Amino acid sequence: MTRVREDPTRALSDPTTSFTEVKRLLQKLPDEVPAAVAAEAALRLRDGQAWWGFARSAGKLPERVLRVLLERLAEEARSPLTVFLLTAMQSSDDLERDWAMAIKGLLDLNSASAWSSKQRRQKIAGLAKSPLLPAIQAAAQAGPAPRLDLLAVLAADGSDASVDALLPHFDKAMARQSELLDTLERLETHAAKTEPMRLMFESVERALRERNRASPALEFARHLGFDGETFSVRWHLASLELNKGNVPLYQCDVVVDSTAPVWFRVDVVHVAGLLKRRSTTFGAAGAPTVDELGLGRCEPAELPAWFAKAARTLQVKWRVTVSHSTLRGAKRQRAAAWMEGA
pLDDT, tens digit, for every residue of 49-75?
779 889 999 999 999 999 999 999 999
What pLDDT shows up at residue 32?
Answer: 94
pLDDT at position 164 is 92
Could you tell me the CA-to-CA distances from 241 to 144, 296, 311 in Å, in that order? 45, 22, 11
Is residue 242 predicted with pLDDT exceeding 90?
Answer: yes
Ranges 142-146, 180-184, 280-284, 326-330, most confident: 280-284
Mean pLDDT within 42-46: 93
Q: Does 143 have pLDDT greater than 90?
A: no
pLDDT at 5 over 60: no
pLDDT of 112 > 90? The answer is: no
N-to-C CA span, the chain: 77
Q: What is the dihedral of CA 188, 191, 193, 194, to 10 degrees?
A: -110
Write out 68-94 in H/E/C secondary structure.
Answer: HHHHHHHHCCCCHHHHHHHHHCCCCCC
pLDDT in the model for residue 177: 62
Instruction: Report the chain's mean pLDDT, rounded to a whole number.
Output: 91
Indicate the pLDDT class of residue 147, thresholds 50, 70 and 90: confident
Longest dimension (CA), the chain: 81
What's the rounded mean pLDDT across residues 313-327? Answer: 94
- Confidence category of residue 97, pLDDT binned at 50, 70, 90: very high
Other C-beta atoms within 10 Å of 139: how many? 29
Burial 263-275 (b: 16+ CB within 10 A, else e): bbbbbbbbbeeee
- Over residues 281-314, the pLDDT tens digits come to 999 988 999 999 999 999 999 999 999 999 999 9
User: Among 24-38, 45-59, 81-95, 319-333, where is mean pLDDT lowest?
Assistant: 45-59
Mean pLDDT of 33-44: 95
Give yes or no for residue 156 having a pLDDT over 90.
yes
pLDDT of 283:
96
Residue 27 in contact with residue 57, Cβ under 8 Å? yes
Does residue 173 surpass a pLDDT of 90?
no
How confident is the model at residue 216, as a pLDDT?
Answer: 92
Class of residue 75 by CB neighbours under 10 A (exposed 0-12, middle 13-18, buried 19+): exposed
Q: Are 339 and 320 in contact (CB under 8 A)?
A: yes
Averaged pLDDT for residues 219-236? 92
Question: Torsion angle of alpha carbons 297, 301, 302, 308, nearest 10°?
Answer: 110
**Is the separation of the CB atoms in 46 and 53 below 8 Å?**
yes
177 vs 242: which has the higher pLDDT: 242
SS3 (DSSP) at 137: helix
pLDDT at 1 over 50: no
Report the pLDDT value the prediction gives residue 4, as an integer from 0 to 100.
42
Asked whether the predicted pLDDT for residue 271 surpasses 80, the reply is yes
What is the value of pTM for the model shown?
Answer: 0.69
pLDDT for 229: 84
